[in-house]
Amino acid sequence: MRVLIIRHGESEADLLDVHEGRADFELTELGREQAERMAIWVKDNYKIDRIYASTLKRAKQTAIALSQEVGIPIEETEYLMEFNNGLIAGLSRKEAAQKYPEDLSLPIHESVYEMESLLEFRFRGDYILSKILSENNPDATVAIVSHGGMINQLYRSFLRLPVDSNIIFPTSDTGIHSWSFENNRRVILFANSTKHLIKMIC
């Protein structure tokens, strides 16, 4: 099975420099163009069988661009939503730091400020990856449109890393990650490709 993990395009929160998380911002004009270019590139290089997407607007709008290009409906799931950052969602970084200082000593099963715990976040990644793998044929190509934080959880699940792993997997606006599952082998074919954006940069 081939799995393409795709981050959403630039959102309005990126321009405002606020904590996004569960704050439900839409794509910017640039973000919509990034999504359109991503969709064309994916169509030119893969035959997509299914599309899964977060229900948050920025991911859903990115997935819609792909859906329209390849002619496959979107299957929305809350399991692919970004980290539930509770009371800091939508706040400026300065205001959040003052009102809700980070507590690095928390055990992985605990949380503060109405957030989900690290353990709960990882569980969502484990659950949705297992579900997607189990309900698709071995020769299928599946696209997952999500968020930077959740993509990191999917990577940790894919690589069977510890819940509290401090290994980070960067992903750009509409960055594409390609994985292969075959005969119990898990292979990262490429990570955070933005080839589809080259013409925009030049």
Rounded distance, CA 21 to CA 19, Å?
A: 6
Q: Are 71 and 50 in contact (CB under 8 A)?
A: no
Residue 54 backbone phi and psi in degrees, to 5: -60, 155
Rounded distance, CA 190 to CA 33, Å?
A: 23
Q: Is 8 a residue of the active site?
A: yes
Q: Is 37 annotated as a binding residue?
A: no
| Closest among 131, 145, 127 to 54, alpha carbons compared | 145
Q: Is 177 a residue of the active site?
A: no
Segment (H or E) for 197: none
Catalytic residue among 69, 76, 82, 116: 82
Return the active site residues.
8, 82
Q: Annotated binding residues for substrate, as ranges?
A: 58
Binding-site residues, in ranges, read 58
